[in-house]
């Protein structure tokens, strides 16, 4: 049963959405709460487990875009489907990882499609979280899903919106964050820079590194790859302490 929160500043729109949801049979849904604006929605989300948020864009106070941006940082965030009379925010919605974007008046068949997308999203996230417990990274590449054992990962580097995963033989792109990986695997990976994690057991040496600037820096030599990984001045004490402990 998919637990739904309806967020819309118009009571009539919320009532109509309840009716449409009742007509959608697969997946089955239950409306656990309603909210008329963003602040109220956040309170509901804090007190009630929710799988899906049906979210209006234009509302007083915290609007739908701001609310979705807040939810995007949550580890177990619900699926989000925007429901609005305005199509202008569609690009922004999908940049915030919205599952779907429905325009009013919503048709039952389009809502049904959105619910099925939300169900797939939630199942895929659950599978990904299960992979975390098995120490595997789930890589999506051109419609193909690959499971990469963490034991093969030598370092990870954040670049723009993605994370480069480096093994001894190749580089892969992970749609995720270094912070999540660092939090999930603190014993396996060491933070060496704000944009880089290194496998602790792959470190060969810490050495001076000429990065082309006036002041020389430090870098790690990693077993299995020729390129060094730069260490920031901020992380240098932690890196030295980790090397001392490994010795």
Amino acid 138: pLDDT? 81
Task: Residue 195: name the closest of 178, 174, 212 by CA.
Answer: 178
The per-residue pLDDT for range 40-51, each reduced to its tens digit, is: 999 999 898 999
pLDDT of residue 137: 85
Residues 81 and 114 sit within 8 Å (Cβ to Cβ): yes
- The 8-class DSSP code of residue 78 comes to P
**What CA–CA distance (Å, rounded) separates 51 from 192?**
36
Higher pLDDT, 95 or 10: 10
Domains in the chain, CATH or no CATH each: 2-132 (3.40.50.2300), 136-246 (2.40.50.1020)
pLDDT in tens, 16-66: 999 999 999 889 999 999 999 999 999 999 898 999 999 999 888 888 899
CA angle 201, 206, 136 (to 5 degrees): 25
Pair of tokens at residue 21: 């949801």
Burial of 190 (0-12, 13-18, 19+ CB in 10 A): buried
Q: Which of 207, 204, 211, 143 is nearest to 168 (CA)?
A: 204
Q: Is the predicted pLDDT of residue 109 greater than 90, yes or no?
A: yes
Residue-wise pLDDT tens digits, 156-185: 999 877 899 999 999 999 887 888 889 888
Q: Two tokens at 122?
A: 């939630």
22 Cβ contact partners less than 8 Å away, ≥ 6 residues apart: none
Q: Which secondary structure element, helix H or strand E, spans residue 115, and what is its range?
A: helix 108-133
Q: Which of 171, 144, 149 is nearest to 159 (CA)?
A: 171
């Amino acid at each position: 049963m998919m637990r739904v929160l309806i967020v819309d500043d118009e009571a009539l729109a919320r009532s109509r959405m309840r009716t449409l949801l009742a007509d959608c049979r697969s997946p089955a849904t239950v409306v656990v709460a309603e909210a008329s604006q963003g602040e109220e929605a956040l309170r509901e989300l804090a007190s009630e487990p929710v799988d899906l948020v049906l979210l209006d864009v234009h509302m007083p106070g915290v609007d739908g875009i701001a609310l979705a941006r807040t939810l995007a940082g949550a580890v177990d965030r619900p699926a989000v489907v925007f429901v609005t009379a305005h199509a202008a925010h569609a690009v922004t919605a999908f940049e915030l990882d919205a599952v779907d974007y429905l325009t009013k008046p919503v048709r039952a068949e389009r809502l049904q499609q959105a619910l099925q997308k939300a169900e797939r999203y939630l199942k895929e996230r659950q599978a990904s979280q299960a992979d975390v417990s098995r120490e595997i990274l789930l890589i999506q590449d051109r419609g193909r899903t690959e499971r990469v054992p963490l034991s093969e990962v030598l370092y990870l580097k954040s670049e723009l919106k993605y994370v480069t995963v480096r093994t001894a033989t190749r580089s892969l792109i992970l749609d995720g964050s270094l912070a999540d990986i660092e939090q999930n695997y603190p014993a396996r990976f060491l933070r060496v820079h704000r944009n880089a994690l290194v496998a602790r057991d792959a470190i060969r040496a810490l050495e001076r590194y000429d990065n082309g600037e006036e002041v020389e820096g430090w870098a790690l030599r990693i077993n299995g790859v020729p390129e060094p990984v730069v260490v920031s001045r901020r992380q240098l004490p932690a890196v030295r302490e980790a090397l001392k402990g490994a010795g």
